[in-house]
Amino acid sequence: MDKFILSFGFNLEIAGIYGILVFVLFCIIAYGGYFILKKLAFVFPGYGCSHAGMGKGICEYSENVKEIYEKASAVLGFDAAEISSKGRAAEVTDEEVSFQLQLLHELSLAEAAKEILPAPEALIGYSAGEITAMTAGNVFSLEDGIAVANAYRDMRKEAVGAGRLDTYRLRNVKHEFVSLASDKCLAGFVQMTAVEAPEQTVIIGDEEGLKAVLKELAKHKVNSAKLKDSLPLHSVMVFPYVSKLQDIMRNIGHSDLSTRMYSTLYGKLVDVMTLPSDYFAKQQVNAVRFYEALAASIDDGFDTFVILGKDKDLLTAVKNVAGENNAFIADSVEDLQKIAEKIK
């Protein structure tokens, strides 16, 4: 009998300990341990996010951030921190340096985020944003990342030779309808260059082709907005100009990715060490499969997405797929701090 009482009491004690542990865990999750539940991914926008004053407050944030700008300035041959912080809009958006400054800004945000946010478990780059993602993920050294950014700049300059076409972002129409309308176009040229969300796509084409496609899509009450960038990127027309991107990939060293990456060329999780040397060349000829990459990450349990850089259209796309409260833009240290409070 004494043995039974002792055993029963011992079991009650164990049950009590488990109960306390469960209660403590519940309190941690409910009152400040919410980070435990978050599976965070960083998203790097494509070309075109540089703006005057973007470097204010970030260039001097920490010794590591200062080192990024110092190393980059030595490679680029100008004071990148000075232009990023104090340069006029015309200087910061000059095509000679615009993407390089954007890359440095976003790398600096990623570095600052190490002290403010949980560590990201995945990276997604939209178009040229994959250059930044691979540099942030230590596939490229900073110097090699800049070399690839320079090759991307040169490719853009040469792609003018393909002629300038109009680019439209389409909303409120399923991408399947856009693809079907583009395929049915018999006059002129039109091609879908990005699928950003189920009902958000980008198309490019000449006047005749776009007129026919937009007329067909009007049946679906499409919301169309003309974009500034008129280069035929992510279309077959840019194929003759991508050789420099291919050459630079052959000549630089690659390291294993420190964080998993979802490719917007393949629309899925990739092993960076197996990517072909013509990866970026193929990327510029094919449509951006951002929606597929984002959906694949969500299927793998990712529930919080922070876009590093100022791209409101990309934010809209991510919110449409991941949910209104699961996507954020960080363009400054203050933004990172606000996001930390929101996801806490």
pLDDT in tens, 134-183: 999 998 999 999 999 999 999 999 988 777 789 999 999 888 888 888 77
* Alpha-carbon gap, residue 123 to 134, rounded angstroms: 8
Report residue 341 as tokens: 């409070």
| Residue bearing the bigger pLDDT, 133 or 179 | 133
Say what the pLDDT of residue 106 is: 98
Nearest to 305 by CA among 41, 96, 125, 8: 41
Instruction: Measure the CA–CA gap between 194 and 290, rounded to whole angstroms.
Output: 7
Could you read off the pLDDT of 29-38 as tens digits, one per residue? 444 444 445 7
What's the pTM? 0.87
CB neighbours of 236 closer than 8 A, spacing ≥ 6? 191, 285
How far apart are alpha carbons 59 and 81 in whole angstroms? Answer: 6
Distances 264 to 4, 126, 161, 267, 287 between C-alpha atoms, Å: 64, 6, 26, 5, 9
The pLDDT of residue 176 is 85
Element (H, E) at 9: helix 2-30
Which helix or strand (DSSP H or E) is residue 330 part of? strand 327-330
**Dihedral of alpha carbons 219, 225, 228, 232, sign:** negative
